[in-house]
A and B are shown apart, each in its own frame.
Chain A
């Protein structure tokens, strides 16, 4: 009898002790406040930041990036090899299953590619996937991705394309109940209010510390801040720089966005390269970064290309702040008193109006007249995409999600494309050649030459590299990523 009691007591003690020792792994749940509700949870259709912020934890792609931006294999077992100029071969990791039990294999890759390129799906993500034109199964673990033109940045594009299960990809439910291979499984979507995910205990990369994550959709920055201060949220996005000092934790990290003013180099007002250089020298970028962004922005190094992106030119220097020199250049060019129109928008991007007005003021100080046109966003888009009538200058915040200089080239400089404001045929040739150059070193050299020319000829006025600022509760431990993805498996809760 006694021994049984003793045994029971011992058993209880062991139980108790084991509970204590595992207390660190008690169900942990966090709440993340994002700026907008996902439009859909289909991972392949929309270009939607809210959708990505949730689905980046449910789905994975063939390639991934480290927190510092390095491209590494994701669902692929190793870096892809190039079969010919238009074909890349990927080896897949073994033994990975989707949350619904379907295997991740070559069929899943083929189905994912075919679905996203299907014109019937009119996927907005094709803007990131470029010449992607098909996929071919070699065997269960080997697949080839085919492009319609040589595409050196295909591996980077494959970091964008989320892999979906072959069978489930045909089910309309995919828009509401996502099924991926990632560290979190879809839980519940309370439309308009929240989405919850639960940890995937079978995750191939090891089980994350946080068991449950709830996303709340809060558009208003002040309301997100209040929720953080009230202890309702653990992580909030896009914290306003002026509040960074008043939250429990604020972390900023170099982001994807660069502000720039693109100059209409064919327009009489800015045709003279001396004037364009003066426009650059007239601006005190350092004090803009300090006063408008409380230091959460860095002065660009003489180019629009995102630091860390392929093709970024380390050899260029920031434009100096030299108003006297700028004034002199403008006088030499006989341009004193010239009117320059500056097209912009307000409210789309953080402190956009303030930046535009500050730039106009700097330009006025060196002897120019500036006609600022702040337009409603869709009118603004019409204006900057109107190839027949280029503004002397326009403000834009460029985002480089693929970490490749071709993003900036295709949008801002290739004549006739995107928002380019020049008719420089040689520049267009150089950009197109670099786009399809598959030799890495040659391609790097090509961008070095292009960025140098753009800088010397002052085709633009690059302003600031903007940082992403996150607010966090006291108990969170997380280093935000340079690619702006919010990856919950990288977070820890200290309690």
Chain B
């Protein structure tokens, strides 16, 4: 087990480094970050002076060597946009994003298991058809649009919840629900399909013939069997959420998380902040992968860790 963790961590470091290096190169090849930062009317001389001050006048190889040296000490330089250490900005915004993900994905997990199970027990029944329709809708609707519709209904018209921002628990409800719908739909469909599969297997028939109640069969045997595929799909959703959905949802709801910060860093050509964000996100994704493998092994001891 320990050997596995060490090996995966080592691979992970290579992945994180590769991703960060790619970002480093791409941001410098695509467009001039100095032009993005200064007003359009800045003169050629002013742009040159600014490039020199932030070290962008050096050859890209020199910049890269310095970058690698700094990264080893977790020094990502100062955010050009906020004029303070980039990593400080990341650590300030990351907890907000994690809170949003915990609420959104948590809700999706909690709701999907009962919904999927009930649908599977009576495929084609009312609950099943209702769940599937809503699920398809959840998969088909862009979160951006969904978020705006939710704001109009629940905040503007009904005035139950605030439109945007962060503060009270009420502020969390709409963004978390918006974030949860796509994963909820995917989870529910997955639970339903696996359950239908499992319920048709001989062991369930045997158990029922022996007189075991359905609830007990579900709880003790079936659910446990679908836990492994469930874990891997939820890991996938967690990664998609972390690296994508939050960007959209945070922008719509003005939620001060890392996704919104990433958008702003890109708009302002803030190379150093972008590098720090990508590094941290890549690191988290690697970590999630390792934790998922370990969890799967714990659930299903037959699994080989490699």
Contact = CB atoms under 8 A, between A and B. Distances in A.
Q: Do A and B bind each other?
A: yes
Interface of A: 36-37, 39-40, 42, 45-47, 119, 122, 124, 126-128, 175, 191-194, 216-220, 222-223, 226-227, 229-232, 376-382, 385, 396, 398-399, 407, 410-411, 416-419
Interface stretch (B1-9, B78-86, B202-210, B281-289): B78-86
B43 A418 contact: yes
B163 A417 contact: no
Interface residues of B, number: 51
Contacts of A407: 41
Contact of A396 (B38, B40, B46): B40
Contacts of A36: 264
Contacts of A398: 40-41
15 contacts: A37-B256, A40-B82, A46-B83, A119-B53, A122-B49, A192-B93, A216-B164, A222-B148, A222-B252, A223-B254, A230-B156, A230-B159, A230-B162, A378-B269, A380-B31
B6 to A, nearest CB: 37
Given A39-B83, A175-B84, A410-B41, A381 B36 contact: yes
A229 B166 CA distance: 19
A230 B41 contact: no
A419 B264 CA distance: 25
Given A191-B92, A227-B163, 8 more contacts: A37-B264, A45-B83, A222-B252, A230-B163, A377-B267, A379-B31, A399-B41, A410-B41
Contact of A410 (B36, B43, B81): B43
B164 A223 contact: yes
Interface string B39-80: 111111011011001100000000000000000000000000
B80 to A, nearest CB: 9
Given A378-B31, A378-B33, A127 B151 contact: no
Q: Which 6 A-B pairs have the closest CB atoms?
A: A192-B256, A378-B31, A122-B53, A127-B42, A381-B35, A218-B254
B38 A47 contact: yes
Contacts of A381: 31-32, 35-36
Interface of B: 30-33, 35-44, 46-47, 49-50, 53-54, 81-84, 92-93, 96, 148, 151-152, 155-156, 159, 162-167, 251-254, 256-257, 260, 263-264, 267-269
Nearest to B152: A226
B164 A218 contact: yes
A119 B148 CA distance: 45
A389 to B, nearest CB: 15
Contacts of B35: 378, 381-382, 385
The CB with the most chain B CB atoms within 10 A, among A119, A227, A396, is that of A227
B215 to A, nearest CB: 44
Contacts of A410: 41, 43
Contact of A127 (B46, B167, B256): B46
Nearest to A396: B40
A46 B269 CA distance: 13
Contacts of A376: 30-31
Contacts of B148: 222-223, 226
Contact of A124 (B39, B44, B267): B39
Contact of B151 (A46, A226, A379): A226
A482 to B, nearest CB: 18
B83 A40 contact: yes
Contacts, number: 141
B152 A379 contact: no
B30 A378 contact: yes
Contacts of B268: 39
A223 B92 CA distance: 23
B151 A223 contact: yes
Given A223-B148, A223-B252, A230 B32 contact: no
A184 B171 CA distance: 28
A42 B82 CA distance: 10
Contact of B163 (A46, A226, A411): A226
A220 B175 CA distance: 14
Contacts of A192: 92-93, 96, 166, 256-257, 260
A380 to B, nearest CB: 8
Nearest to A386: B32
Nearest to B81: A39
Contact of A193 (B37, B43, B166, B263): B166
Contacts of A380: 31
A399 B40 contact: yes
B284 to A, nearest CB: 19
Contacts of B81: 39, 46
A382 B252 contact: no
B115 to A, nearest CB: 30
B229 to A, nearest CB: 36
A345 B49 CA distance: 26
Given A223-B163, A230-B159, A377-B31, A417 B152 contact: no
Contacts of B253: 223
B31 A122 contact: no
A272 B81 CA distance: 44
A425 B39 CA distance: 25
A124 B256 contact: no
Contacts of B264: 36-37, 219
A95 B178 CA distance: 55
Nearest to B252: A220
Residue from the set B35, B253, B254 with the largest chain A CB neighbour count within 10 Å: B254
A173 B44 CA distance: 32
Contacts of B83: 39-40, 42, 45-46, 175
A235 B92 CA distance: 28
Given A40-B82, A378-B36, A193 B151 contact: no
Nearest to B264: A36
Among B33, B39, B53, B162, max chain A CB count under 10 A is at: B39
A418 B43 CA distance: 6
Nearest to A348: B267
A40 B89 CA distance: 12
B156 A226 contact: yes
A419 B31 CA distance: 15
Contacts of B252: 220, 222-223
Nearest to A407: B41
Query: Which one of B43, B49, B92, B268 has the greatest number of beta carbons of chain A within 10 Å?
Result: B43
A143 B111 CA distance: 70
Given A36-B264, A127-B39, A229-B156, A216 B31 contact: no
